[in-house]
Amino acid sequence: MGKFKIIFIIIFGGCLVLTEACSDAFAQDIHFSQFYMTPLTLNPALAGSLHDMEVQANYKTQWSSIGSPYKTEAASYDLSFQKKKRSKAYFAAGINFFSDKAGDSKMGTTQVNLTAAGHVYFNKYSKLGAGIQIGFDQRSVNYSALQWGNQFDGTSYNPALSSRENQTSNSYTFVDASAGVVWAYNNTSGGRRVADNRDFSANFGASIFHISQPQYSFIGNTEKLDVKFVLHGNTVISVPYSKIAFVPGFMFTKQGPASEIYAGSLIRYKLVQSSRYTGLVGGSAISMGAFFRAKDAAVIALLMEYSEYTIGMSYDVNTSSLNVASAGRGGFEISLRYLIASPFIVQSRSRF
Distance from C-alpha of 100 to C-alpha of 138, rounded to nearest angstrom: 11
Q: Structurally, what CATH architecture does the domain formed by 2-134+173-340 represent?
A: Beta Barrel (2.40)
* Residues 49-84 as b or e (16 or more Cβ within 10 Å = b): bbbbbbebbbebbbbeeeeebbbbbbbbbbbbbbee
Q: How many CB atoms lie within 10 A of CB 208?
A: 16
- Picking from 285, 258, 291, the residue whose alpha carbon sits closest to that of residue 269 is 285
Distance from C-alpha of 344 to C-alpha of 290, rounded to nearest angstrom: 37
pLDDT at residue 145 tops 90? no
Residue 250: left if φ>0, alpha if ψ -120 to 50, beta else—which one?
A: beta
Looking at residue 251, what is its pLDDT?
Answer: 96
Instruction: Give the total residue count for the chain.
Output: 352
Distance from C-alpha of 351 to C-alpha of 192, rounded to nearest angstrom: 8
Looking at residue 278, what is its pLDDT?
Answer: 44
Q: How far is CA 310 from CA 47, 93, 211, 287, in A?
A: 18, 21, 33, 11
For the whole model, what pTM was predicted? 0.79
> CA-based angle 37:43:222, to the nearest 5?
120
DSSP 8-state secondary structure symbol assigned to residue 143 = G
pLDDT at residue 275 tops 60? no
On the 0-12 / 13-18 / 19+ scale of CB atoms within 10 A, 239 is middle
pLDDT band at 27, cuts 50/70/90?
A: very low
- Share the mean pLDDT of the chain: 79
Q: Where are the domains of the chain?
A: 2-134+173-340
pLDDT at residue 142 tops 90? no
pLDDT in tens, 176-199: 999 999 999 987 644 444 444 556
pLDDT in tens, 280-299: 456 789 999 999 998 888 99
pLDDT at residue 201 tops 70? yes
pLDDT at residue 316 tops 80? yes
pLDDT in tens, 99-118: 987 766 667 888 999 999 99
Distance from C-alpha of 299 to C-alpha of 279, rounded to nearest angstrom: 34
10: part of which helix (H) or strand (E)?
A: helix 2-21
Mean pLDDT, residues 91-101 taken together: 92
End-to-end CA distance of the chain: 21
Percent of the chain at pLDDT above 90? 43
Percent of the chain at pLDDT above 70? 69
Give strand pairing partners of 180: 131, 207
pLDDT at residue 321 tops 80? no
Helix (H, G, I), strand (E, B) or coil at 234: strand
Of 124 and 170, the one with more pLDDT: 124
Contact 342, 83 (CB under 8 A): no
Looking at residue 28, what is its pLDDT?
Answer: 59
Comparing 41-45, 131-135, 210-214, the range with the smallest average pLDDT is 210-214
Looking at residue 65, what is its pLDDT?
Answer: 60
Of 233 and 27, the one with more pLDDT: 233
pLDDT at residue 162 tops 60? yes
